[in-house]
Amino acid sequence: MTLSITGLTVTIGDKKILRGVDLDLQEGRVHGLAGESGSGKTMTGLAVLGLLPHGARTGGAIRLGERDLLKLPLKELNQVRGGEVAMVFQDPATSLHPMLSIGRQLTEHMRHHLGLGKREARARAIELLGKVRIPGAAEAYDRYPHQFSGGMRQRIAIAIALACSPKVLIADEPTTALDVTVQAGVLRLLRGLCDDLGLAVLLVTHDLGVMSAVADEVSVMKDGLVVETGERAQVLREPAHPYTRSLLDSLPGESA
Amino acid sequence: MTLEIKDLVVEHRSPGRPIVRAVAGASLTVSPGEVVGLVGESGCGKSTLARAVCGLNPVTEGSITFDGRQVTPLGLRRRQLTGIQMVFQDPYSSLNPRRRVGDQIADGLRTAGDTATKPADLLERVGLPRDFAGRHPHEFSGGQRQRIAIARALAARPSMLIGDEPISALDASAQAQVARLMRDLAVESGAGLLFISHDLSVVRLIADRIAVMYLGKIVEVGRTAEVWADPQHPYTRALLGAIPQPDGLGVLPAELAGDVPDPADPPAGCRFNPRCPQVMDVCRDKEPDFGPVACWLHQPG
C-alpha cells in the first residue's frame, strides 16, 4: 500500500468539507475519484499535498510509508511534495508559469529535490519530454508555454510532475480542459506511465467515461464522504449505492 | 428570421505574420426555434464564426444574412440589428464588475424598447431570485453569472441567440443545467440558437442539428441523432470515437494521430487528409466542396 488515507476530515470555518474519507492507492494502479462538484474530490487531492486553504483544520491520517503527511513538519513535507508525491492540475494554461521556459520549469525542482547539476538536469528533462511524447524534445526545452497547444501543455505538466520520480501522482481533472481527441492521447499517456513506472495514480474526475477508460478502482464521493469503492467493472456496471446509480443514469445514454 | 451563412471567409491579419484564414468557406443555416450545435477541436474557427455572425469580426468574403438583411460590422453607433444576441464564454469578464446586474439587464430591455418587463422578471426566468438585481457580479458564482449573462441577452428580445462556448468556464455539474436552460429559453421565445461547444456530450443533449467544423470548414451537418448514430465523415467518426464510454470495460478511447495543422498554412486538398485514416489520392489534390458531408467518400450523386 503506497498511500493510504484513513478517516480524513477537513473543516474550514464551521463547514465540514470532508467527513471521514478512506482511500488506498497502490503501485501501478489508477484509483479514480468521482463525484459532483462540491463533493470534496479536489480537497482530498489537495490535502495529500498539504495545499489546503488557510485556516483549514484536518483530522485522520494520510500515510505514505511510515509517515503521516498531515503531521509532518513543513520542512519534511516539502521533501515529500514535488518529490515523492506530485500533482497535475486541471488547466495547463494556468498551472504553467507563462514567463519561464519549459526547461526552467522542468529542472527547477529536479535540482532542488535530487540535487542534480545543470547539465544532468537538462538531459533528464529532455528525456522526460520524450517520454511524454513532445516532438523535438531538445528544441522544446527552450520554448515557452504559449508556444504549445493545450494538449502539449498538459503533457509538459505531466512531465514536470514526473521529474523527481514520484511514487504517487495526483491528477485533478487532468483532461477536463482538453478536446476529446487530445484527451484520448493524454489518457493513454497516463495509463502507460502508470503501467511502466509503477506509479500510484489518484485520478480526480467528474467524467465517468474517463473513469471507465483508465481507472482500475473507482471511489464515488458525495458530500465529503466516500459512498462506494470497488473495482471499476463492479462500480460502473453494478453499482451498489443508489447515488452511483443516479450518477450513471443521469448520463445521456442510448436510452435517454 | 432565419440566419444564413454562405461561403463565409474570415481572415485574421496581424502585422509581421502570415494571414490566418480562421473560417475558410463555411455555410450554415439556423432557422427560428431551431438549436444548432457547432462542434470541433479548439482552433478550428468556431468562435471566429460566431463573432462574425454578431458583427464582431469583419467578413472577408461570403455573406451573413439575418432575416434577409446583411449583418453589418458592429460599430460604436446604435445598431439597427439587435435581433442577434450573444452569450460569451467567460462570465467573469463579460459582465461589467462595477454595475449592478439589474442595470446591465435593463440595458438589454431598453434596446428592445420594452418598458413593461423588469430586470427582476428576467432573473426569475433564468432561475435566480428577484432580489439579486441589486447585486454586483462578484457576489455570484460562475454558473449564476452565466445565467445573468443569458438574462441580459434575452432582455433584448433576440430572435437569434449565439452561445460561444457558454458552458466551458463552468463547473461540470452546472454545464448541463445552463445548456438546457439556454435551449429551453431560446425555443420558448421562438428564437434560434447557435450553440458552440467543444463538449460533444452537452451538444448532443440540446441540439436539433449538429455541424462539425474542422480547420475553418464545416465537414458534416446533420440531425443530431443521425450524426451520433451513424457519423459519415472520418473526422466526425474520430471525434465521436474519442469519447470514453462509462461502460466499466476499461477501453482506452481511440486516439486521432497528429495535431490540428496551422490554419495559416493548411494542407493541400482536403484539409483533413494528413490525419485521415481513409485517405485516398484524390484527397491530397482536390478539396471536397460539397455537403452535407464534405468528404470524397461521400460524394453526392
ipTM: 0.73
Q: Distance (Å, rounded) from C-alpha B168 to C-alpha B166?
A: 6
Q: Do A179 and B249 touch (CB under 8 A)?
A: no
**Contact residues on chain B for A213, CB-CB shorter than 8 A:** 244-245, 250-253
Mean pLDDT of all residues in B235-249: 86
Q: Output DSSP code: residue A146.
A: G
**Which comes out higher in pLDDT, residue A38 or A12?**
A12
User: pLDDT-based confidence at B173, cuts 50/70/90?
Assistant: low
Q: Residue B64: which of B78, B83, B77 has the closest Cα?
A: B83
Chain centroid to Cα B181, Å, comes to: 16
**Which comes out higher in pLDDT, residue B139 or B172?**
B139
pLDDT at A254: 44
When the pLDDT of each residue in chain A is averaged and rounded to a whole number, the result is 88
Residue B78 predicted with pLDDT over 80: no
Residue pair B36/B28 in contact (Cβ under 8 Å)? The answer is yes
Residue pair B66/B52 in contact (Cβ under 8 Å)? The answer is no
pLDDT at B95: 93
Q: Output DSSP code: residue A81.
A: B
Read off the C-alpha cell for A48: 495529500
CA distances from B191 to B39, B119, B185, B248 (A): 20, 20, 8, 40
pLDDT at B99: 95
pLDDT at B143: 82
Give the dihedral sign, CA A23/A27/A29/A34: positive
B41 touches A at CB < 8 Å: yes
pLDDT at B77: 62
Q: Residue B198: which of B215, B219, B212 has the closest Cα?
A: B212
Residue pair A37/A84 in contact (Cβ under 8 Å)? The answer is no
Report pLDDT digits (tens) over B47-72.
Answer: 889 989 988 888 999 999 988 888 88
Mean pLDDT of all residues in A96-120: 91
Nearest CB among A187, A208, A248 relative to B253 is that of A187
High-pLDDT (> 90) share of chain A, %: 43
Give the residue from B46, B167, B198 with the most A CB atoms within 10 Å of its CB, the best one to mutate.
Answer: B198
Report the range of poorest mean pLDDT among A144-158, A201-215, A239-253, B88-102.
A239-253
Residue B199 predicted with pLDDT over 50: yes
What stretches of A20-146 show up as alpha helix (H) in DSSP?
A: 41-49, 74-80, 92-95, 102-114, 118-131, 137-140
Read off the C-alpha cell for A41: 474530490
Mean pLDDT of all residues in B215-225: 92
Length of chain B in residues, anyone? 301
Residue A60 predicted with pLDDT over 80: yes
User: pLDDT-based confidence at B200, cuts 50/70/90?
Assistant: confident
Nearest CB among B204, B242, B260 relative to A180 is that of B242
Give the dihedral sign, CA B181/B184/B187/B190: negative
Q: Distance (Å, rounded) from C-alpha B40 to C-alpha B47?
A: 10
User: pLDDT-based confidence at B242, cuts 50/70/90?
Assistant: confident
Q: Which residue, chain included where needed, has cell 459519415? A: B232
pLDDT at A256: 36
Q: What is the pTM of this model?
A: 0.81
Task: Please give the residue of chain B at the shortest CA–CA distance from A177.
Answer: B168
Report pLDDT digits (tens) over B118-131.
Answer: 999 999 989 899 99
User: pLDDT-based confidence at A253, cuts 50/70/90?
Assistant: low
CA distances from A18 to A22, A70, A247, B45 (A): 10, 14, 20, 42
Residue B36 predicted with pLDDT over 80: yes
Mean pLDDT of all residues in B177-186: 89
Q: Residue B23: which of B213, B222, B238 has the closest Cα?
A: B213
If one counts every other C-beta atom within 10 angstroms of the C-beta of residue A256, the result is: 9
pLDDT at B73: 81
Question: Peptide bond preceding B158: is omega within 30 degrees of 0, i.e. cis?
Answer: no
Q: Do A179 and B42 touch (CB under 8 A)?
A: yes
pLDDT at B79: 64
Q: Do A212 and B239 touch (CB under 8 A)?
A: no
Give the residue from B92, B210, B252, B262 with the most A CB atoms within 10 Å of its CB, the best one to mutate.
Answer: B252
A223 touches B at CB < 8 Å: no
**Which comes out higher in pLDDT, residue A91 or B8?**
B8
pLDDT at B226: 93
Residue A250 predicted with pLDDT over 80: no
When the pLDDT of each residue in chain B is averaged and rounded to a whole number, the result is 87
Task: Please give the residue of chain A at the shortest CA–CA distance from B243.
Answer: A180
Identity (one letter) of the amino acid at B126? V
**Contact residues on chain B for A182, CB-CB shorter than 8 A:** 41
pLDDT at B210: 94
User: pLDDT-based confidence at A168, cuts 50/70/90?
Assistant: very high
Strands A67-68 and A56-64: antiparallel
If one counts every other C-beta atom within 10 angstroms of the C-beta of residue B80, the result is: 8
A 133-152: CB under 8 A from B: 149-151
Report pLDDT digits (tens) over A211-245.
Answer: 999 999 999 999 899 999 999 999 988 899 998 88
Contacts of A152 (CB under 8 A, 6+ apart): A134
B244 touches A at CB < 8 Å: yes
Residue A255 predicted with pLDDT over 50: no
Give the residue from B175, B256, B262, B276 with the most A CB atoms within 10 Å of its CB, the best one to mutate.
Answer: B256
Mean pLDDT of all residues in A147-167: 88
pLDDT at A82: 83
Q: Residue B108: which of B74, B70, B149, B136 has the closest Cα?
A: B149
pLDDT at A142: 92
Mean pLDDT of all residues in B20-26: 88
Q: Which residue, chain included where needed, has cell 434596446? A: B111
pLDDT at B266: 84
Report the range of poorest mean pLDDT among A104-118, B188-202, B240-254.
B240-254
pLDDT at A135: 82
> What are residue A222's DSSP bridge partners?
A225
Degrees (nearest 5) of the Cα angle B6, B10, B14?
175
